[in-house]
Structure 1
């Protein structure tokens, strides 16, 4: 019989077949004994379904193609009574079960649905009620009606969307949803809905985001079973906004397909769901103001990260496509699930915070706060640009399949280009596009979902950890006899340590060793310095001289030139960019941060500061009077971000900014920077 952990293990094995057993245990936080038990449980379950066992040898494993096909088919043919759901899955399933109820529900119904005891079911009901607080929905009970949902219909639907989206990200989520449908004897029409949406997408020339499409299909399916029983009202602002959208006609056609009787409110509701699940191509929402917002966001990211983007027109197009569905989600209160949000905030926290600041024009435009989940996807989008791309000889052809949208595709492609500079990457493709092209047009596939292909398919995620990068490199190197970036096998290294020492935290040791031993990460590039480590006393100086703005930039950059951080070409490039673009280096409050591209003359990462007693006028414009220049020399588009974040905290705080400007010696400024660094620890 399968349990939750054994199915989780199967899910990881299917998606990451190149992992070693030690890394597999680390991914799931399992002890050797727990892993052995879960593997036995998994193999017993596979045997009961006439499938071969998973073979384990030395530090690796082999999973039969029949198992992969079984796991990745749209409907798992699991015996529902074999499934044991974890707590968060049970809460979502109780809600959905109640959401489409056909008759009175008592606690025994929940027990039967989830195969749990009465006490567990009662505890789950209590936890679901707590989870619903603040959502506008309440799970109530009385003897006449049993368990039922109270609140406005739009709030009930919104929380159902949260439940469906969350379940689809869990190993047994689809099976749980199917169990809810089976319990009420509803026919699963998800395949028919998917086919109809596919045909409509061609007719209305729209593209759906892969993960949003799956969620949309189940939301529509559940809505069919609920339709007509509950009155829906929507805010007037939403009604006015949606009725003017080109996709309103698509919403009308979809309503006619789903329901016998169609109301305008339901058409508007369905149009909202469509708009929030499609890629924002121009004819969906042609809006000049939103295009301007897109430009303003890019300008803010450039200003905050000091990364001048190449091929900005491509970024503008991609960002607009992302902004359109985000705009409708925010304006129409459509919840968004982002399974990567914890990873993004943990491993890309600096960039996340900078992008959050940069989204202020979007927040101002919508009049709403942008959720962390939305910010996470924007971080992925810009993360694809805020990383250095290297160019070397390219050999094999690689294509990328990432159905979670253009943002994820771009971020994944950027990381893979860095990992495999010798590969030629074609443009990212959808699953549908991959079915149409010949396998002769590529040599390998990197994909975030399982695919059938005669060529090697490497399962990955839009954001890779250092450990995942390591194993991906090893897998490709082994399959194609390509250079492996690693000096040694991390697994072999760990095995040696285990034989001679007790390890308190395997994951932490694994990740530290990975960072230190990977050849592609030099000592310099694996460490992101803090502000006081870059802005040292020998790079801080003051002047009473009367200068023009060109002379001020030249003087500010002088310590970096003299100490061979930059060449004279870089100094000239900083001046030329101001002449070309305008006073963009003025970040406000009399502070300018001149910078140019790394390839224009940067030798190593550095910063310098010049304090002027007599302000200079940038481009001779009175509104750009500058009394402090901070030159930035970045070797790539990432390592300076930590120091930049600290500097930003100085600039936005009036008190610390004033102390910075009142300083008369380098030692005073250094002391402030060091204190800031200590506070960060």
Structure 2
């Protein structure tokens, strides 16, 4: 019998066949006893399918090629008696089951669907009702009609989209969705719908985001099952916007295919789903206004992160492709599932907060609030450009296949560049694009999906854990002449420690040892200093002398020059950037933050501050009167972000900014910085 944990274990074993048993246990957070139980459950399920068991050999395992083939081709046909769902999976499945019901439903129906007790089913219904209430839907019950959904049709569909999107990313989700369809004896026409969408995409010259297309197929399939039960009404603002779009014709054709008719409101609804699932290209939404918003967002990210982007035309093109579907999702209230959001917030907190501020032009343009899930994808997108600026030696060539969208592929590319500095990474590709490229143009492939190739293929995910990064390095090093950060087998080291000590958390110890032996494997996990660590007493100066703006920047940078944080070339580069770009360093309220590119003369991370008594006119312009200059010397595009976030909190708060400007000694400013740092702990 398969359950959530056993399918998770199977996924890890198929994806990472070179992991040791201790590493697998740590990855899934299983004790030795729990691992043995989960493996036995997995093997029992494989035996029921007439597939070979997974063998444990010393510290490793052996998985038969027949199991891999079934798993890769999604042919692992799981019978209803073999599935055991977790609570969150059950809630979404109950909703979808009710969403496409063919007859009155009792609690017995839910018990049969999920193979649970009456009490468990009743508890699930109670929790689902609370979820539905937050989505504008009511799960009602009466003796005549049984359980049914009440509320506006658009709200019911919206929550069905949430359910399908969430389930699609859970190990038991897709088998569960198919079980719901089978329970009502609906025909699974997902293959024909996918072919229809593929043909229409070619006709209308659009490209679907891979994971969004998979979700869309199930949404359309369930919509077919439900069609005609309730009238659909959409807000006038959405209707008028969508009717003007070029893809409205594609929505009309899709409506005729799905429903054998072309009802106006359904065409609008289907067009919304299409627009939110495609990569933005100019002919889909040729909007000069949105293009301007795209440029404004880039300027805001540059201003807030103090990162002058290289390859800006490439970034502008990529951002616009992401912005178009995001715009329609926001305007038309299309829910977005982002399984990486918690990890993004935890590991890229400073960048997430700054990007959230930088999206104000989009919020102003749409007149809508931008959800954290949307912000998360924009953070991933910009994270692909906010990366280390050190040159990467081009020895081996690698390409990336990631059909989950531009943001995911950029995040993956960034991590891989840091893991393999001796590898040159080309642009990311879809499976179809890869087939058009000569295998002679690359030496290896990193892919988030299974594919066949004459070159080595390494399976991965868009956001890697420490264990997965370590596995990839070991696997690539075994095939190519690349250095491995640590020659010490971590699992053997853990076994030795286990003999002589009691370990509170094996996973935490494994992570700490790995990071230590690999010397903090990437800049992402390096120490990001606080503001009080960068802006020290010896880097703060005051002056009563009248200065022009160039002299002010030179004087502000002098402590950094004197202490060999920067070269004189960097000071001149800061001045030159103002001459070239304008008064962009003025962040408001009389504060200027001069900076240039790290490669223009930065030797180590630092920050200095100059307080002038008489305001300095930047570029001799009265509207840019500056009384405080804060010079930034960044060695990369990441390490300064935590300190910058703290500094921003000073600048947006009038009380703290006034106290900062009223300070007359360096010690007063340092005391304020330290207090701010203590308050954040």
Distance 1:523 1:187 in 2: 50
1:610 equivalent to 2:610? Answer yes
Matched residue pairs, number? Answer: 681
2:84 match: secondary structure: coil
In the alignment, what sits opposite 1:192? 192
Shift of residue 437, structure 1, vs aligned partner: 4.2
Task: Say which is worse superposed, 482-491 or 376-385, in terms of deviation.
Answer: 482-491
2:29 counterpart of 1:34: no
Aligned CA-pair RMSD: 1.6
CA distance in 1, matches of 2:650, 2:116: 55
1:193-208 aligned within 5 A: 193-208=193-208
Matched with 2:501 is 501
Maintained 8 Å contact 1:535/1:670: yes
Aligned partners of 1:475, 1:365: CA distance in 2, in Å? 47
- 1:188, distance to aligned residue in structure 2 (A): 0.2
Aligned-partner Cα distance in 2 for 1:284–1:523: 38
Query: Which deviates more from structure 2 when the two are superposed, residues 292-301 or residues 461-470?
Result: 461-470
TM-fit CA distance, 1:356: 0.5
Deviation at 1:28, TM superposition (A): 1.2
Question: Which residue in 1 is equivalent to 2:282?
Answer: 282
Residues 164-563 of structure 1: matches in 2 within 5 Å? Answer: 164-519=164-519, 521=521, 526-563=526-563
In the aligned structure 2, how far is the partner of 1:525 from the partner of 1:192? 45
Residue 537 of structure 2 corresponds to residue 567 of structure 1: no
- Judged with a 3 Å threshold, the aligned counterparts in structure 2 of structure 1 residues 74 and 198 are, in CA distance, closer, same or farther, namely farther
For 1:44-69, what per-residue CA distance to the aligned partner results, in whole angstroms no more than 9, with x for missing partners? 22122222222333333333332222
| 1:555–1:495 distance in 2 versus 1, CA, 3 Å | same
Kept after mapping to 2: 8 A contact 1:76/1:175: no
Q: Within the alignment, does 1:8 sit opposite 2:8 as a pair?
A: yes
Question: Quick check: 1:390–1:417 contact (8 Å CA) kept in 2?
Answer: no
Which secondary structure state, in structure 2, belongs to the residue aligned with residue 542 of structure 1? strand
What is the DSSP-based 3-state SS (H/G/I as helix, E as strand, rest coil) of the residue aligned with 1:627? strand
Task: Tell me how far apart the structure 1 counterparts of residues 374 and 584 of structure 2 sit (CA, whole Å).
Answer: 27
Q: Say whether 1:675 aligns with 2:675.
A: yes
Deviates more, 1:578-587 or 1:482-491: 482-491
Aligned equivalents of 2:2, 2:521: Cα separation in 1: 41
Please state if 1:599 is matched with 2:599: yes
Could you tell me how far apart the structure 2 residues matched to 1:532 and 1:15 are?
A: 44
SS in 2 for 1:421: coil
In 2, the alpha carbon distance for the partners of 1:193 and 1:60 equals: 42
Q: TM-score, normalising length from structure 2?
A: 0.98
Between 1:515-524 and 1:364-373, the stretch displaced more is 515-524
Q: 1:433 offset after TM fit, Å?
A: 2.2
Q: Deviations over 1:204-253 (max 9, x none)?
A: 01000011000000000000111112110000000100000000000011
Change (3 A) 1:418 1:522: closer
Summarize the alignment of residues 67-106 of structure 1 with structure 2, pairs less than 5 Å apart.
67-106=67-106
Offset, 1:487: 4.7
Looking at structure 1, the residues matched to 421 and 670 of structure 2 have their Cα atoms a distance apart, in angstroms, of: 40
Measure, in 1, the Cα distance between the counterparts of 2:530 and 2:637.
15
**Matched position secondary structure for 1:426:** strand
When the two structures are superposed, what TM-score results if normalisation uses the length of structure 1? 0.98
Which residue in 2 is equivalent to 1:122?
Answer: 122
Counting only pairs closer than 5 Å after superposition, residues 121-140 of structure 1 correspond to structure 2 as 121-140=121-140
Following superposition, the deviation at residue 389 of structure 1 comes to 4.0
Q: List runs of 5+ in structure 2 lacking aligned partners.
A: none
Measured in 1, the distance between the counterparts of 2:531 and 2:458 equals 39
Say which SS state the counterpart of residue 464 (structure 2) adopts. coil
* Gap regions ≥5 residues in structure 1: none
SS of equivalent to 2:229:
coil
Cα distance in 1 for partners of 2:188, 2:461 equals 30
